[in-house]
Amino acid sequence: MSLDNNWFTETYQAEGLAFSLHLANAEKLAEKKTPFQHIEIYQTSHFGKLMVIDGCVMLTSRDNFIYHEMMTHPALFTHPRPQKVLIIGGGDCGTLNEVLKHENVQLAQQVDIDEQVTRLSEAFFPELCTRNNDPRAELHFDDGIKWVKQAPAESYDVMIVDSTDPIGPGEVLFTPQFYQHSQRILKPGGLFVQQSESPLIHTENIIKPMMNKLLKAGFADHQTLNFPLCSYPTGWWSCTLACKDQKISQFNSQSVDNRPFITHYYNSEIHRACSAMPEFFKQATQ
């Protein structure tokens, strides 16, 4: 990360890439050093507010809706009746906000270890936190790994892992042991979703190993969904969907078309298209 002439730049040394955002001014809106990480908030000139954690872009006001909608709606419109949802991570509450748009959901538990991410989101990204006080929402500031390990079997219909990259503290969210416990706590027909990085540069070292670990953990089927996200490395991102004990079923396109809430990216055409992957990806993951 560097700041130069009012530009915030995140550098990805391993991939030879960098991404920059112009700041409205050099002063930070907020900064917190917690026992877990270093959080900064900036005002950009064109992308609204910017949250940075440990020097990495976490979200911007302008494009976070793509990520949050794709982490939630494909799974929730595929599951026939998602009533109980677990979110691991997701402290900015954008994923929770999208989950609670679904009337079938009776309980959504969000487990993030760092309360300050949520408090700063409430202050600087209030649009992501409009459902934090929904009676169906539970915010737990706890260790997500421990939560999943201790949860009773067949507790949830959908589990969403809105995690950081698989390095440092986030690495344990990509292990066989974590996937085994995730499979165990899903109800029959339950769906698991995890962000899975960029297909362009992470297919071989992250997405393919994830697929193999999911199958070894007992998941019956998996599917990678891709979408654009310009503020993340390469501008091309993905999440991977897995089903506990059966093939991933077709999504309910009629329910999508008749949804009683607004989305800004997701729709039935996007859902049909997002699982289409290029040849290099198909060959690499066979």
Residues that are catalytic: 162
- In one letter, which amino acid is 74? P
The alpha carbon of residue 174 and the mean position of all alpha carbons in its chain are separated, in whole angstroms, by: 13
Angstrom distance (rounded) from CA 23 to CA 223: 37
Tokens 């201790």 locate to: 150
Angstrom distance (rounded) from CA 151 to CA 139: 16
Q: Which of 51, 67, 61, 68 is nearest to 8 (CA)?
A: 51
Residues 6+ apart with CB under 8 A from 237: 67, 195, 197, 198, 226, 227, 228, 229
Give the count of beta carbons closer than 10 Å to the beta carbon of residue 113.
21
Write phi, then psi, for 155 (nearest 5 degrees). -95, -25
HSE value, Cβ hemisphere, 13 Å, CA-based, for 122: 10
Rounded to 5°, the CA angle 145-151-157 comes to 100
